[in-house]
Amino acid sequence: MKFASDLEKKTFEKLVEQLPSLIEKKCQGYDEMYGYKLLPGEHYDESIAHALVYKYCKAYKFQYDEVASNLCSTLNWRREFDPLSAAFSERHDETLNNVGLLTKYDDEQSNRKVVTWNLYGELSKQKQVFADVNKFLRYRVGLMERSIGLLDFKDETNDYVAQVHDYDGVSMWRMDPDIKKCTKQVIAVFQKHYPEMLSAKFFINVPSLLTWVYDVVKRFVNEETRRKFVVLNDGTKLGQYLPAAPSKLYGGNSKQTLEEQNVLEVKPTPYALYLFEQKVGADVE
C-alpha cells in the first residue's frame, strides 16, 4: 500500500478504525465485498480487507466523507443486489454465457493476467438478450464477480482485471434502444461499485464506420476509466498488448483457442460459501 502523503495515510487509518461503526449504522451490518469480509471475525483476512478499503480510498482521492459514503453505498447495493448469487448460484441465458469468457495468464504482464472477454459482436443478431435490463445486468455482474474471483488482492501484479470487447460481426446504423439501456446500466454499476478494478479495456474488431458508437458510449464513462481504453480496428493487433492471447483471431502467442483457454470454474471464497449457507438456512426456517 502506497501513500503519497500523511493525509492519505490518515484517511485510510481513520476509515479502517471507523469501519465497524459505519457498517453497523449505515449498511445494516453487511460487511462483504467481492466475497471477502471487511470486519474482523471468522473468514477475515486483514491484508485483503485493507487492500479493498485502500482501493476505495484511492478511487475517491482519499477524501474521507466521499470514501465512506461510496463504500457504504456499495455494501448496501451488494446486500440488495446479491452479486455473489449472480456469479455462483444463478443460471443465465445460454446465449449470454457463450459470449462471456474468462482467461487467466499467469505469466502475462502486471494486471493483465485475468481477462474478461465479451464477444458482443456475436450478439448483434440476438438482440432479445437485451430486452430485460435486469437479466442482462445480473449476467454481466456475475461475470465481473467471477473475474474478480481470479484476482489476488495480496499481489499487486494481479489485483486488477483487463477486459476485451470483441465487436466482430457488428453492423448497425443507429444505437438499438435496448442495447443502449443495458450498456448505460452496466457502465453505471461498474463505475459506482467496482472502482479501481479495471487495468485496461480493449475494443477490438471495431469497424471504422462504427467509431461514432464509441463517441456515443464514452459519454457515459468518466475520464479516469476512459484513459484505460484502447480501440483496435484489427483484432489481431491485440496480441501486441496481450501476448498470452490466442494466436488465431487475436494475434497472441498461444496455440490454444479462446474457448480452450476459458476458465470454466471459479471457486467462491470461504466467506461467500458461509453467506450462502446462512441464506439457505434462513430460507428453510
Among 9, 43, 181, 218, binds ligand HEM (CB under 6 A): 218
User: For ligand HEM, which stretch binds (CB under 6 A), given 43-51, 56-64, 176-184, 271-279?
Assistant: 176-184
Task: Map residues 242-281 to x or -, x wherever contact with ligand HEM holds by CB under 6 A.
Answer: ----------------------------------------
How many Cα atoms occupy the beta-carbon half-sphere of 88 within 13 Å?
Answer: 22
- CB of 176 or CB of 277, closer to ligand HEM: 176
CA distances from 31 to 13, 45, 144, 282 (A): 18, 13, 19, 18
Binding to ligand HEM by residue 182, rule CB under 6 A?
Answer: yes
Exposed e or buried b for every residue in 178-191, given b needs 16+ CB within 10 A? bbbebbebbbebbb
Q: What gap in Å lies between CA 116 and CA 100, rounded to an integer?
A: 7
**Rg for the chain (alpha carbons), in Å?**
19
Contacts of residue 215, defined as CB under 8 A and 6 or more positions apart, other chains included, come to: none
Report the nearest approach of ligand HEM to the CB of residue 245 (Å). 18
Question: Contact between 187 and ligand HEM (CB under 6 A)?
Answer: yes
Residue showing cell 484502447: 230
- Number of residues engaging ligand HEM in binding (CB under 6 A): 26
Site string for ligand HEM, 148-167 (x = CB under 6 A): ---------------x-x-x
Pick the closer one to ligand HEM by CB: 53 or 204: 204
- What is the rounded CA–CA span in Å between residue 261 and residue 202? 18
Q: Which stretch binds ligand HEM (CB under 6 A): 73-81, 106-114, 153-161, 198-206?
A: 198-206
Q: Which region, left, alpha or beta, applies to residue 61 given φ > 0 means left and ψ of -120 to 50 means alpha?
A: left
Q: Does 231 participate in binding ligand HEM (rule CB under 6 A)?
A: yes
- 179 scored as a contact of ligand HEM (CB under 6 A): yes
The residues of the shown chain that bind ligand HEM, judged by CB under 6 A, are: 118, 120, 123-124, 140, 163, 165, 167, 170, 179, 182-183, 186-187, 190, 201, 203, 206, 210, 213-214, 217-218, 221, 225, 231
